[in-house]
Structure 1
Amino acid sequence: MSRPQQVAELTDHLGFWLRMVSNHVSHSFSRRLEGEGVTVAEWVVLRELYGTDPLAPSRLAERLGMTRGAISKLADRLMAKGLVARADDPRDGRAHSLSLSSAGLGLVPMLARLADENEAAIFGCLCAEDRSRLEQALKKIAQARGLNDPPLT
């Protein structure tokens, strides 16, 4: 029997460490949002609608890199929670737009604080210079790879 070929350890790969940290950031934030009855995907939609004029679902889908069907499902869930309102387009009876309800408008700043707290809890161990370098490196990779759509999970 021949000896197995030597291969790198999992921990020898940057992707391993990136995924470990990313999973922790995502799961931690998801748990914080669950406490408020919102998913990460719903948060992304709420944040995108915050401070904007009403948006057509197709435009929202385009901005978030999602399908219209996915936006429709998310919008339905957010409307059921009283956080998003749908209005018919007076110029086109088939079209409509989405906007935050007053409850949604009030909730977004609180959820944004949760996002800030989550980030501080995880990345607070980095000095400002290290944090800036990490952010620059990640942005450089995202730009080089053409990564534009926000992560939704």
Structure 2
Amino acid sequence: MAFWHDRVSQVLQGDLERRFAAFGVTPSQYRLLAALARHDADTVRGLASSLRLDGAAVTRLADRLQAKGLVVRAADPTDGRSVRLSLSEAGADLVPLLDAEASAHERAWFGSLSFAELRQYKLTLAKLLKRAGDGPDEVWLRRELY
């Protein structure tokens, strides 16, 4: 079972990587851009928590996105030791395009499932992840795909 679950993950990830490559970003970079667009957080620590990554990984992602002109770093006016991240104009313009591509990806892979099948799949994923002490929030469970 684990082999096939891993295989599905590899196939889905590979397709998403190909789709986002046309925009010059990776799926991980997209996740950071989308988190900034949703205002989930604007510090490395906050983004690490939101994205379930370590701070070093978020810093590397931010470095790459800043080099591409998609993210801007600025000193926190209330705490000189802290840095705030935000989308550049180019980053803000790119996120809706990436969102549309992510939705197309979901439609391509999950569009053949009925609403009931999708709901059950999400509940099953949530149950397995909860057993591991992780998992999506209620908002994700209620959100429809694409």
Q: TM-score range by the shorter chain?
A: 0.7 to 0.9
Q: Could you tell me which residue of structure 1 aligns to residue 128 of structure 2?
A: 141
The 5 Å alignment of 1:11-22 reads 14-22=1-9
Q: Could you tell me which residue of structure 2 aligns to residue 116 of structure 1?
A: 103
Q: Which amino acid aligns with 2:3?
A: F
- Contact kept, 8 Å, 1:84 with 1:98, in 2: the verdict is yes
Superposition misfits of 4+ residues, deviation over 3 angstroms: none
Bigger RCO (CA 8 Å, 6+ sep): 1
Question: CA RMSD of the aligned region, Å?
Answer: 1.8
Q: What 5-or-longer segments of structure 2 have no aligned partner?
A: 137-146
Note the C-alpha offset of 1:83: 0.8
Q: Which amino acid aligns with 2:34?
A: R
Q: What 5-or-longer segments of structure 1 have no aligned partner?
A: 1-13
Q: Number of aligned pairs? A: 136
Q: In the aligned structure 2, how far is the partner of 1:133 from the partner of 1:139?
A: 10
The 5 Å alignment of 1:66-81 reads 66-81=53-68
Q: Which amino acid aligns with 1:27?
A: G
Counterpart selection for 2:73 from 86, 107, 111: 86
Q: In the aligned structure 1, how far is the partner of 2:52 from the partner of 2:21?
A: 23
- Contact kept, 8 Å, 2:40 with 2:47, in 1: the verdict is no
Counterpart selection for 2:48 from 40, 61, 64: 61
Q: In the aligned structure 1, how far is the partner of 2:20 from the partner of 2:53?
A: 21
Q: In the aligned structure 1, how far is the partner of 2:110 from the partner of 2:92?
A: 28
- Contact kept, 8 Å, 2:34 with 2:95, in 1: the verdict is yes
- Contact kept, 8 Å, 1:79 with 1:85, in 2: the verdict is yes
Residues 83 and 92 from structure 1, CA distance in 2 versus in 1: closer, same or farther, beyond 3 angstroms? same
Residues 61 and 53 from structure 1, CA distance in 2 versus in 1: closer, same or farther, beyond 3 angstroms? closer
Q: Could you tell me which residue of structure 2 aligns to residue 130 of structure 1?
A: 117
Q: Which moved more, 1:91-100 or 1:23-32?
A: 91-100
Residues 90 and 113 from structure 1, CA distance in 2 versus in 1: closer, same or farther, beyond 3 angstroms? same
Q: Percent identity, aligned pairs only? A: 38
Note the C-alpha offset of 1:69: 1.9
Q: Could you tell me which residue of structure 1 aligns to residue 30 of structure 2?
A: 43
- TM normalised by structure 2 equals 0.84
